[in-house]
Copies of this chain bind each other. A is one copy, B any other.
Amino acid sequence: MGATGAVGQEFIKVLEQRRFPVASLRLLASARSAGKKLTFRGEALSVEELKENSFKGIELVLGSAGGAIARQFNPIAVAAGAVVVCNTSAFRMDPAVPLVVPEVNPQDIHWHKGIIANPNCSTIIMNVPVWPLHRANPIQRMVVSTYQAVSGAGAKAMAELEQQARDWAAGRPLVKGAMLHQAFFNVFSHNSRIAQNGYNEEENKMVNETRKIFHCPEMRVTATCVRVPVLRAHTEAINLEFSGPMGEQQVRDILSKAPGVRIVDDRGNNYFPMPIDAASGDDVLVGRIRQDASLPGGTGIDLFVSGDQIRKGAALNAVQIAELL
């Protein structure tokens, strides 16, 4: 559902790369995209219009067509006998719906009632390296700042940033439309709506979804979510305050064994996680691992991480959930 979007197209790629046991694949999208051809395992498949009767005989739905579509069609798909792994925010905070990062809370898939929610991209990329540290030494408070790719705003936003770069190089005026602000040679506070508490929706997702995924409703998190002119990997500066002393070497030891994590932390060569290295990969890159000098007793750690927003932040995580199922 949403096959022609940035995440939809990545779903197809990930299913193919991971040899997911697909017997037959149906590509569902809006009427506008119907008839378009997309390739799966060397075969050109036609995109079909998403309709109420689209789910006959379907066992698994991977959804990334936006919240309104999810609210309308997820219950229909479930009624037809499918399990929906939903990449929109529509059902994430529903107490009846598990919210799953396979490296963190795989056990939560067992209590689903037809829908399993895939978390927000920035949340997933933060949770993968932070969870094993939290298990070793409970985290009291997190302060995170993001450097988010435009891919999170969709395929049109990626095309817009690329077009702005071409227009700048040609001396033409820059055009915007998919994004509220110019992305090229700029940085802006995340485009989501500002909620009552002064945080934007993306920041509130990072706070609330982390609490649900970690089963830690009291976890204290503050986040500042920001877009940068990067195409498809999110980077995050994460400050962690632990319950007890936590050394750099202990963090390195834990993260070197953590699933989904790759340490990139070469101080001598000033080589750390970068979105151009994280892009199109499966791992969350983690570096700048250092003791926070501002917290007493060695209870603080700073990290700098980068992960592909479309893959681990969306399509890969959803397919990993489907693999667990």
Contacts and interface: CB of A to CB of B under 8 A. Distances in A.
Interface of A: 141-143, 145, 147, 165-166, 168-170, 180-182, 184-189, 191, 193-194, 197-200, 207, 220-222, 224, 226, 228-231, 235, 237, 239, 248, 267-268, 270, 272-276, 287-295, 300, 302, 304, 306
Contacts of A186: 230, 274-276
Contacts of A185: 165, 229-231, 275-276
A320 to B, nearest CB: 26
22 contacts: A141-B294, A142-B294, A143-B239, A147-B228, A165-B165, A165-B184, A185-B229, A187-B275, A189-B270, A189-B304, A194-B267, A194-B268, A198-B288, A198-B291, A198-B302, A220-B294, A221-B294, A222-B292, A222-B295, A222-B300, A222-B302, A224-B288
A186 to B, nearest CB: 5
Which applies to chain A's interface (DSSP): helix, strand, loop or mixed?
Answer: mixed
A187 B235 contact: yes
A147 B293 contact: no
Contact of A147 (B147, B239, B289, B302): B147
A58 B224 CA distance: 47
A193 B270 contact: yes
Nearest to A182: B276
